[in-house]
Amino acid sequence: MTNAVRTPASPHTPADLPARIQHYIDGSFVDSIDGDTFGVLDPVTNEVYVRAAAGKRADIDLAVAAATKAFTEGPWPRMLPRERSRILHRIADIVESRDARLAELESFDSGLPITQALGQARRAAENFRFFADLVVAQVDDTYKVPGKQINYVNRKPIGVAGLITPWNTPFMLESWKLGPALATGNTVVLKPAEFTPLSASLWAGIFEEAGLPHGVFNLVNGLGEEAGDALVKHPGVPLISFTGESRTGQLIFENAAPSLKGLSMELGGKSPAVVFADADLEAAIDATIFGVFSLNGERCTAGSRILVERSIYDEFVERYAAQAKRVVVGYPHDPATEVGTLVHPEHYDKVMSYVELGKTEGRLVAGGGRPEGFDGGNFVAPTVFADVKPDARIFQEEIFGPVVAITPFDTEAEALALANGVRYGLAAYVWTNDLKRAHTFAQAVEAGMVWLNSNNVRDLRTPFGGVKASGLGHEGGYRSIDFYTDQQAVHINLGPAHNPTFGKQEPS
């Protein structure tokens, strides 16, 4: 049985695409100082549909200067939290009112299925609304010593935050950083991924309409090794928040070290989904199908290693493969599409190289190549390998596409060793009806986040981040507030000063 496909007569191009994509610095759209541009590809045709300004160090310098002036001289850091909150709520309202257009552009630019892109646009609005509320409701610690001393914590915005965002669900992930950075009174320079700059270009108009002062938000497009590198190394940027792959995170860590910058980095993942024999098998299959094939498999928290107890292993593999073959591959704009196109031909070639490797490292039970009916573009059929050994590269390395490896285990101890036996530690999923085992296993697994009998559904108040090679620090809820603020302890004496006396002269 081959994968289900949807083949409309032709790909879809949104109306009113911009003629070019520029930087946005100090309230104005501008070209690069040297005039350089780069081509942005439609992932369905792999043809250049627009050119974007290619920022360099000089462009980053201008953006940082504008953000610095807005921070030191402008009203934004000095507004009451409630005043900033009102503007953030207006931003959320505007994003919600334009969710269909945002989703259309995001889907076209990234290859995400339109229904999933719509969900990401709505989540972006919710990110702003959440931090708009949190910054007003937040409380800080006060410590009292009755009659002697009061100590309290004063939070202050830090300055210019450098935000570097990835190409998977770009608009939503930009909101995830912009929301708390702005809510806490910082100014920002955003460097979006070069593969997907289209939706990021909409932020400027949204912010202007909402009343954000000029200079608070600045955007510089460009390549990571040029614009991104310049932002990380800039001495006027004390904070860098980065989402992307682990090797880039290592370079950022190295380049930020001389300035001792604050870093928050959510990096790669190779997350296990552990299915025990007592699990609800139908729910586990549905969740693990969704967990690796949604967002085209281009998700950091994808459960791309499925570990299955041997007594149900054969049944699981058979049912999983059959359902994977029914996943609908199609053009991103088609509402029936469940897996669209990968973002870029470079990434398509990477994923396909792992597919070919997997044919030597496991038993191919679904997919394994380009789906029928799609001779061009970056389409990959949902691909499932069974009987994958733990030393296989498709077990160990992040593929970041619609490819999954299934491996059997016999004991809980073996399952835990397999789950922890990679360099990553972002997420884990555990399926069992044994409550004691669920909690014990969750605490033993090396992952920043664990879902028990659930797919990736996250409360915005909880911390998001990984361990090992999957990241540095956590964001989400108060962890984001912590990252984007300096916490100053203020100590107040309430009684007579009680100081040790050094060198006091004896009375004569």
Question: What is the domain-level CATH number for residue 83?
Answer: 3.40.605.10
Answer whether residue 2 shows pLDDT above 80. Answer: no
Whole-angstrom distance, CA of residue 38 vs CA of residue 227: 13
506 lies in some domain: no
The answer on 288 and 184 residing in a single domain is: no
424 lies in some domain: yes
**Regarding predicted confidence, which is higher, 10 or 150?**
150
Rounded average pLDDT over 343-364: 98
Let me know if 104 is a catalytic residue. no
Q: How many domains does the chain have?
A: 2
Task: Choose among 290, 270, 227, 282: nearest CA to 431.
Answer: 282
434 lies in some domain: yes
The answer on 314 and 245 residing in a single domain is: no
The answer on 249 and 128 residing in a single domain is: yes
The answer on 399 and 336 residing in a single domain is: yes
Whole-angstrom distance, CA of residue 469 vs CA of residue 331: 34
The answer on 384 and 294 residing in a single domain is: yes
Domain final position from 423, 452, 481: 452
The answer on 336 and 307 residing in a single domain is: yes
Answer whether residue 1 shows pLDDT above 50. Answer: no
Residues 462, 450 contacting (CB under 8 angstroms): no
**Regarding predicted confidence, which is higher, 171 or 503?**
171
227 lies in some domain: yes
Rounded average pLDDT over 455-462: 89
Q: How many CA atoms lie within 13 A of 454 on its CB side?
A: 11
Sorted by sequence, the CB contacts under 8 Å of residue 472 that are 6+ apart come out as: 249, 253, 263, 264, 265, 267, 465
Rounded average pLDDT over 398-427: 98
217 lies in some domain: yes
Band (pLDDT 50/70/90 cuts) for residue 239 is: very high
Domain with 280 in it? 272-452
Rounded average pLDDT over 9-36: 93
pLDDT value at position 292?
97
The answer on 213 and 104 residing in a single domain is: yes
The answer on 205 and 148 residing in a single domain is: yes
The answer on 45 and 158 residing in a single domain is: yes
What is the Cα 321 distance to its own chain's centre?
28
Helices (H), 170-302: 170-183, 203-210, 229-233, 246-256, 281-293
pLDDT value at position 496?
85
Answer whether residue 335 shows pLDDT above 70. Answer: yes
Band (pLDDT 50/70/90 cuts) for residue 7 is: low
Answer whether residue 469 shows pLDDT above 60. Answer: yes
What the block records as the tokens of 169 is 């669900």
Answer whether residue 9 shows pLDDT above 80. Answer: no
Domain final position from 404, 424, 452: 452
CA torsion 289-293-297-302 (nearest 10°) is -20
Whole-angstrom distance, CA of residue 164 vs CA of residue 231: 9
Pairing of strands 239-243, 262-266: parallel
The answer on 220 and 276 residing in a single domain is: no
Helices (H), 421-490: 435-444, 478-483
The answer on 247 and 295 residing in a single domain is: no
Task: Choose among 385, 449, 389: nearest CA to 418.
Answer: 389
pLDDT value at position 6?
56
pLDDT value at position 472?
92
Computed on alpha carbons and rounded to an integer, the radius of gyration of the chain in Å comes to 25
Answer whether residue 245 shows pLDDT above 80. Answer: yes
The answer on 414 and 321 residing in a single domain is: yes
504 lies in some domain: no
CATH number, domain with residue 379 = 3.40.309.10
Catalytic pick among 104, 106, 266, 398: 266
pLDDT value at position 500?
83
Answer whether residue 507 shows pLDDT above 80. Answer: no
What average pLDDT does the chain have?
95
76 lies in some domain: yes
499 lies in some domain: no
